[in-house]
């Protein structure tokens, strides 16, 4: 439609400026000192939703960071699309590795560089602008609701309860989310699988105080030595996870489906080049795409203890810690995996140390069906604006709340992500190409159009 393109062209600079203003608010959910910024971000988004044409927008307190709820009901008899996104971002550390300050957005080489440029401010904001465009051009054929949360990056601790408490308000036919990636700008894809997550913190305690590593070294168990051995034993030589029962509920994907997955374009050489690695490492018997898409994994996210400042201090530490995450596949249950992990981790602790393991957060995976009006509408929308039919793919990432949406609200989600793997989300120099930002805004209205046609 010519008028969509024209509206975009006429307003593109303003759209970008508005996104920049949102990015400049450092809404880092993990850090208490940013509590005012969280509030500022909600107020900003509330205003933008009103400006875009929402009838009612509320900033609703939760036990954690507030949720923004907005709506425009054009006709209760028409289908309703509920847009979900998050305004919180990951911490920016290590700051010194950023080429420009993380909360001062800058365009270089056609990309927006900033924390949140993609995840999820850039992607979420596309929906507000697409909503504005549809209102101004009289294209809206469905009711629209928005639920933008501020705790996604810390595991959405309040959102499930929020959904339980607001079930009626959140009633919708489909949840629309842009918080995932596509294969490439010339190979559009739709994410149909997300992994679940089980995130643990472990503590190993040896002697009751830090000791002189000469006077005691060799005679007393060193918790860091022990912890690293314990972690090493969690996977075997085939990169199989050794926790008993871990794979019990893993759904084996059929040969046919694996063959279908293998058709998705993937270049191992480019993959390795982009990461500066000379080999990929993962579970034996599976391809790289399969290792992240249909198989679980276990990773240490951080490990600490002892002396880590400049220079040398001879110390045999009293304690060692690690944060360990397990990505799960659909049908595995994160609570069950937490228990299996804790039981096993405690069981492999040698005499001479005490071990504690606890779960920090987690959630379930999700598989989105492809034989639905929502998938078909999304597929037609991408085909319209990218000129190519999108490929269904399974992502390795997690948005645990998506399975809660289905459980609590009984609503399925469609993942129309416009990010790229190279956007460096959660890393220094996170970025989002302008192409993707504008293409997203252009594509979203077609989803609404086709969805209302196909939903009848
Ligand atoms: N947007 C990401 C998840 C994502 C990114 C899924 C790319 C698929 C492709 C989300 O903000 C995120 O980072 N999720 C966390 C989980 C959460 C519980 C902290 C993750 O996957 O680590
Ligand atoms: Mn995200
Ligand atoms: Mn994220």
What is the mean pLDDT of the segment spanning 19-46? 98
Residue 198: pLDDT above 80?
A: yes
Determine the atom of ligand 1 nearest the C-alpha atom of 154: 19
Q: Whose CA is nearest to atom 16 of ligand 1?
A: 398
User: 120 alpha carbon to ligand 3 midpoint, in Å?
Assistant: 7
Determine the atom of ligand 1 nearest the C-alpha atom of 179: 1
Which pLDDT belongs to residue 456?
Answer: 77
Which bound ligand lies closest to the C-alpha atom of 325?
Answer: 1
Average pLDDT value over all residues in the chain: 97
Q: Is ligand 1 within 6 A of the CB of residue 402? A: no
Q: Is 62 left (phi over 0), alpha (psi -120 to 50) or beta?
A: beta
Residue 227: pLDDT above 90?
A: yes
Domains of the chain: 2-194+365-454 (3.40.630.10), 196-250+296-363 (3.30.70.360)
Q: Is ligand 1 within 6 A of the CB of residue 399? A: yes
In 3D space, the residue among 385, 395, 454, 403 whose CA is nearest the CA of residue 419 turns out to be 395
Q: How confident is the model at residue 1 (pLDDT cuts 50, 70, 90)?
A: confident
CA–CA dist 187, 346 (Å, integer): 46
The predicted-structure confidence for 313-326, as pLDDT tens digits, reads as follows 999 999 999 999 99
User: 382 alpha carbon to ligand 1 midpoint, in Å?
Assistant: 22
Q: Is ligand 1 within 6 A of the CB of residue 393? A: no
Q: Is ligand 1 within 6 A of the CB of residue 153? A: yes
**Is 152 assigned a catalytic role?**
yes
Q: Is ligand 1 within 6 A of the CB of residue 385? A: no
Catalytic site residue from 71, 152, 430, 442: 152
The predicted-structure confidence for 345-383, as pLDDT tens digits, reads as follows 999 999 999 999 999 999 999 999 999 999 999 999 999
User: 283 alpha carbon to ligand 3 midpoint, in Å?
Assistant: 25
Q: What is the largest CA-CA distance in the chain?
A: 79
Q: What is the DSSP letter of 27?
A: -
Q: How confident is the model at residue 332 (pLDDT cuts 50, 70, 90)?
A: very high
What is the mean pLDDT of the segment spanning 226-246? 98
Which pLDDT belongs to residue 281?
Answer: 98
Which pLDDT belongs to residue 123?
Answer: 98
The predicted-structure confidence for 398-444, as pLDDT tens digits, reads as follows 999 999 999 999 999 999 999 999 999 999 999 999 999 999 999 99
Q: Is ligand 1 within 6 A of the CB of residue 415? A: no
What percent of the chain is predicted at pLDDT more than 90?
98
Which pLDDT belongs to residue 295?
Answer: 98
Determine the atom of ligand 1 nearest the C-alpha atom of 199: 18
The predicted-structure confidence for 292-304, as pLDDT tens digits, reads as follows 999 999 999 999 9
Which pLDDT belongs to residue 146?
Answer: 99
Residue 69: pLDDT above 90?
A: yes
Q: Which helix (H) or strand (E) holds 58?
A: strand 56-60
Catalytic site residue from 88, 118, 151, 442: 88
Dihedral (CA of 238, 242, 246, 249) sign: positive
User: 427 alpha carbon to ligand 3 midpoint, in Å?
Assistant: 10
Q: Whose CA is nearest to atom 10 of ligand 1?
A: 399
**What SS3 state is found at 84?**
strand
């Amino acid at each position: 439609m010519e008028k969509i393109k024209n509206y975009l062209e006429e307003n593109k600079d303003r759209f970008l400026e508005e996104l920049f203003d949102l990015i400049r608010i450092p809404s880092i959910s993990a850090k208490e000192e940013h509590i005012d910024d969280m509030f500022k971000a909600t107020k900003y988004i509330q205003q933008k939703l009103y400006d875009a044409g929402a009838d009612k927008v509320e900033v609703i307190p939760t036990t954690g960071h507030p949720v923004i709820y907005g709506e425009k009901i054009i006709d209760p008899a028409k289908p309703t699309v509920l847009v979900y996104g998050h305004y919180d971002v990951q911490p920016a550390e290590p700051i010194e590795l950023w080429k420009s300050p993380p909360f001062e957005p800058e365009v270089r080489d056609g990309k927006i560089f900033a924390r949140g440029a993609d995840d999820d401010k850039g992607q979420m904001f596309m929906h507000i602008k697409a909503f504005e465009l549809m209102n101004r051009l009289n294209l809206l054929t469905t009711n629209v609701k928005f639920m933008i949360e501020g705790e996604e990056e810390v595991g959405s601790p309040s959102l499930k309860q929020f959904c339980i408490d607001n079930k009626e308000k959140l009633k919708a036919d489909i949840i629309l989310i842009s918080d995932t990636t596509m294969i490439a700008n010339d190979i559009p894809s739709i994410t149909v699988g997300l992994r679940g997550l089980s995130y643990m913190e472990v503590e190993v305690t040896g002697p009751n105080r830090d000791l002189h590593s000469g006077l005691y070294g060799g005679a007393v168990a060193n918790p860091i030595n022990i912890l690293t051995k314990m972690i090493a034993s969690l996977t075997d030589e085939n990169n199989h996870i050794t926790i008993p029962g871990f794979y019990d509920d893993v759904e084996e994907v059929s040969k046919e489906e694996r063959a279908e997955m293998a058709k998705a374009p993937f270049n191992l050489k480019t993959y390795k080049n982009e990461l500066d690695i000379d080999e990929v490492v993962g579970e034996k018997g599976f391809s790289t795409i399969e290792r992240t898409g249909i198989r679980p994994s276990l990773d240490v996210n951080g490990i600490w203890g002892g002396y880590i400042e400049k220079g040398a201090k001879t110390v045999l530490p009293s304690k060692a810690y690690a944060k360990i995450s397990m990505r799960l596949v659909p049908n595995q249950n994160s609570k069950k995996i937490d228990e299996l992990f804790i039981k096993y981790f405690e069981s492999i602790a040698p005499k001479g140390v005490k071990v504690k393991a606890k779960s920090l957060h987690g959630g379930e995976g999700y598989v989105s069906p492809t034989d639905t009006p929502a998938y078909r509408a999304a597929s037609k929308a991408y085909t319209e604006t990218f000129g190519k039919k999108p490929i269904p793919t399974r992502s390795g990432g997690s948005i645990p709340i998506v399975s809660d949406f289905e459980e609590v609200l009984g609503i399925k989600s469609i993942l129309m992500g416009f990010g790229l793997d190279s956007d460096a989300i959660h890393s220094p120099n996170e970025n989002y190409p302008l192409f993707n930002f504008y293409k997203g805004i252009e594509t979203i209205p077609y989803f609404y159009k086709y969805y209302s046609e196909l939903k009848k």
